[in-house]
Copies of this chain bind each other. A is one copy, B any other.
């Protein structure tokens, strides 16, 4: 796959310059790699900070704005940001009400956010953390002890962001974020590998005519390779993998997420099959979101994330949000 880039070394900085130009409502510090709501800090409001390797856009920078994240720290492609970015972000957005770090479960992210939390607290910023680990495909993985953090990150950032917007205190926002993560499970499928700018060739080998079930968002190995399956068969495999682990008794939020290169036409068709399988399994659907939200560069494929909700979480999901990547009700 050819890339629309200058040189691999400037991919992240170039993207940040382009974000700054497109989104005057964000303050983008290209040199220090921090994206902040221009109106931060918001008086009395708990701030949410997330971050991770680049290559998953719109996650996380595209989710900065009213109703969701206060700031995001992008690392190099598929590489954790460093603690200094996270501390800078926390300092920029803390109103005195404290900061919640939303951390996907990858070893580098976990270590760096832990260190950043200590440093921020040394500066007098109150910090809480929530770890997102929703991917049911494998326990332990290439970059992770325990389950990987994938699509549920969007649910956590949106719902905890709405709780913070309501003026809830840090401990309550943290509890909400944990509840969302615990109620969420994901399963992803790759139809092709992805190519990082630095490597310039596919990060793993997936022969034509085969797919990988249970893939991670960096192309980490999943559960098994199989000859190509239909959209309906893939929906059955993904939904059943999630339901086996989640077993929801209440309605769910559904995220049908594209890995990057799969056309929206196909994602909507896949959603039809996901909804069919959920109906056959007796799982009620409250809301559905379809699109490219937690991507893996140019990987083809999709993931399914379900989040079991109650009235409170649904109200927070439906609350207004205004970010480059997710926006409604404002």
Contacts and interface: CB of A to CB of B under 8 A. Distances in A.
Given A2-B208, A4-B191, A301-B4, A292 B269 contact: no
A203 to B, nearest CB: 13
B298 A268 contact: no
Nearest to A258: B4
A268 B18 contact: yes
Given A1-B192, A2-B209, A298-B300, A292 B264 contact: yes
Interface string A227-245: 0101110100000000000
Contact of A21 (B3, B22, B271): B271
A116 interface: no
Tell me the number of copies of this protein. 2
A150 B260 CA distance: 22
B231 A261 contact: no
A50 interface: no
A281 interface: no
Nearest to A299: B263
Interface in A186-218: 189, 191-192, 208-209, 211
A172 interface: no
Contacts of A273: 6, 14, 18
What DSSP secondary structure best describes chain A's contact surface?
mixed
Interface residues of A, number: 67
Given A4-B302, A7-B230, A15-B265, 13 more contacts: A2-B192, A2-B228, A12-B265, A16-B268, A17-B275, A18-B269, A18-B271, A19-B271, A21-B272, A21-B275, A22-B256, A58-B264, A263-B297
23 contacts: A1-B261, A1-B300, A2-B209, A2-B211, A2-B300, A4-B234, A4-B262, A4-B302, A5-B269, A10-B269, A12-B265, A14-B231, A14-B268, A14-B272, A18-B271, A18-B275, A21-B271, A57-B263, A62-B264, A260-B261, A298-B300, A329-B330, A330-B330
Q: Which 10 A-B residue pairs are closest in the complex by CB-CB distance? A: A14-B269, A18-B268, A18-B271, A17-B272, A18-B272, A57-B264, A261-B261, A15-B268, A2-B191, A4-B266
